[in-house]
């Protein structure tokens, strides 16, 4: 049973318990016969956010504490790995304490401890992995190793209580751009990904050249509101019948445009550049996503990762999905960017199938997203 002190907080969980159990059973999960399926403490330290969360039954957030390091990295124009690791070391235990306190539970009361073990910055990942292993050992808890990108996709299950697989997911973060066929909670198939830069990375690099602060995505998004997306014709890469992306050509085209304007002493309309660049990124993201949805006969589209917060991506997908009778899901802003609740959510579906890690767990900085690669 849930600890009595937290019953009020998690009353919403009780309503979802049955359907979660049925889903788990349908997915072939080994579910023990008891009231609550899981109460998981999640940890996320893969990049520049130190986060800890407590999630019940994979769907109800009891707490989700996020300590962002953005201020420390901003003056360098990007994340400095060494600073990230040091800040995680300072923050990880206070953030865990706060997450447990806000959830109204003690460490002994959680069923398992979940941690992001990749992909990400190795030094940053290691802080979370070491902390999770130490806590699991000290408190005698099960350990769950979570793929960060899967966490981003699963953030949607926290936001949309009735969402269930199958669906196509577009993962657009600072480090990754991938199309994934989520056949079931534990069957994720990578269809295609970027061959070079990730979408978020392209946003960040262009913003940097335009003198905007890190992270550049939200800045470009804001600036583009005042620009004309048709002003400059930037290239759309890899049009055609595949699920792959490429943003380095587009990035070079924008950089060339800015440099040659500067050399010729012309004033550049930054809002037009931002709008024209943004629409080029969004065009390729949306067309490839719709292609995958149609090829796999899906009715649901899920967007995940930091760039899922982009307003043009959201409005374009909203229109396109409505025209085709598709349902579109994306997380609210606070669950789009890195957070531990999404890690604990993903971990729940590993927990119910007994997919545990042990104390030999190590960080895997280039961890791939998929279990099966049916796209190749
Ligand atoms: O998923 P995330 O928090 O971190 C990674 O796992 O990489 O994504 C961060 C990325 C950054 O590149 C940031 O510029 C981008 O998401 N981003 C955006 C927006 N908000 C965040 N990109 C475009 N438009 C936005 N509104
Ligand atoms: Zn992320």
Specify whether the CB–CB gap between 123 and 82 falls below 8 A: yes
Alpha helices by DSSP H, listed for 225-332, are 248-263, 270-295, 311-324
Q: Ligand nearest 215 Cα, by number?
A: 1
Count of CB atoms situated within 10 Å of the CB of 152: 31
Neighbouring residues of 138: CB distance < 8 A, sequence distance ≥ 6: none
* Predicted confidence (pLDDT) at residue 220 exceeds the cutoff of 50: yes
- Tell me, using a 6 A CB cutoff, whether residue 66 lines ligand 1: no
pLDDT tens string 159-176: 999 999 999 999 999 888
Neighbouring residues of 321: CB distance < 8 A, sequence distance ≥ 6: 301, 327, 328
- Tell me, using a 6 A CB cutoff, whether residue 307 lines ligand 1: yes
Q: Ligand nearest 247 Cα, by number?
A: 1
d(C-alpha 41, C-alpha 57), whole Å: 11
Q: Ligand 2 centre and the CA of 337: distance in Å?
A: 6
Closest CA to 292 of 241, 226, 254: 241
pLDDT tens string 4-62: 322 222 222 222 333 444 444 344 344 443 467 899 999 999 998 999 999 999 999 99
Q: Ligand 1 centre and the CA of 336: distance in Å?
A: 8
Count of CB atoms situated within 10 Å of the CB of 316: 17
pLDDT tens string 95-149: 999 999 999 999 999 999 999 999 999 999 999 999 999 999 999 999 999 999 9
Nearest residue (by CA) to ligand 1, atom 23, is 217
pLDDT at 287: 95
pLDDT tens string 260-293: 999 999 999 999 999 999 999 999 999 999 999 9
Domains and CATH numbers, the chain: 7-163+336-351 (3.30.420.40), 167-331 (3.30.420.40)
- Tell me, using a 6 A CB cutoff, whether residue 338 lines ligand 1: yes
- Tell me, using a 6 A CB cutoff, whether residue 118 lines ligand 1: no
Closest CA to 173 of 195, 149, 147, 157: 149
- Tell me, using a 6 A CB cutoff, whether residue 120 lines ligand 1: no
Ligand 1 site-directed mutation target among 48, 204, 306, most atoms within 8 Å of CB: 306
For the chain, give the mean pLDDT: 88
* Predicted confidence (pLDDT) at residue 203 exceeds the cutoff of 50: yes
Token representation of residue 237? 């890469």
Neighbouring residues of 315: CB distance < 8 A, sequence distance ≥ 6: none
Higher confidence at residue 152 or residue 33?
152
- Please identify, by atom number, the ligand 1 atom nearest to the C-alpha of residue 148: 6
pLDDT at 8: 24
């Amino acid at each position: 049973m849930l600890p009595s002190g937290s019953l009020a907080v998690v009353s919403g969980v009780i309503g979802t318990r049955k359907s979660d159990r049925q889903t788990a059973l349908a997915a072939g999960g080994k579910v023990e016969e008891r009231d609550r399926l899981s109460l998981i403490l999640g940890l996320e330290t893969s990049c520049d956010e130190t986060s800890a969360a407590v999630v019940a039954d994979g769907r109800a957030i009891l707490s989700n504490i996020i300590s962002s390091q953005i201020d420390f990295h901003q003056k360098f124009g990007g994340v400095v790995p060494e600073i990230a690791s040091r800040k995680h070391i300072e923050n990880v235990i206070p953030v865990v304490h706060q997450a447990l306190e806000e959830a109204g539970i003690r460490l002994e009361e959680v069923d398992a401890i979940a941690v992001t073990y990749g992909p990400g910055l190795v030094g940053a990942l290691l802080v979370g992995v070491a902390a999770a292993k130490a806590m699991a050992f000290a408190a005698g808890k099960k350990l769950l190793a979570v793929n960060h990108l899967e966490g981003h996709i699963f953030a949607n299950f926290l936001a949309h209580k009735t969402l269930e697989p199958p669906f196509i997911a577009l993962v657009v973060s600072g480090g990754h751009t991938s199309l994934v066929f989520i056949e079931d909670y534990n069957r994720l198939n990578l269809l295609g990904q970027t061959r070079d830069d990730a979408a978020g990375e392209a946003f960040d690099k262009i913003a940097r050249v335009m003198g905007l602060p890190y992270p550049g995505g939200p800045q470009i998004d804001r600036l583009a509101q005042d620009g004309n997306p048709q002003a400059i014709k930037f290239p759309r890469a890899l049009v055609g019948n595949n699920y792959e992306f490429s943003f380095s050509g587009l990035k070079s085209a924008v950089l060339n445009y800015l440099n040659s304007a500067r050399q010729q002493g012309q004033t550049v309309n930054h809002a037009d550049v931002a709008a024209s660049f943004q629409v080029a990124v969004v065009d390729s993201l949306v067309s490839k996503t719709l292609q995958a949805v149609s090829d796999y006969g899906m009715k649901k589209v899920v967007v995940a990762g930091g760039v899922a917060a982009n307003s043009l991506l959201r409005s374009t997908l909203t229109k396109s999905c409505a025209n085709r009778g598709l349902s579109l899901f994306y997380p609210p802003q606070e669950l789009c960017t890195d957070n531990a609740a999404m890690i604990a959510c993903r971990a729940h579906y590993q927990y119910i199938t007994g997919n545990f890690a042990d104390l030999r767990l190590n960080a895997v900085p280039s961890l791939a997203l998929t279990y099966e690669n049916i796209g190749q």
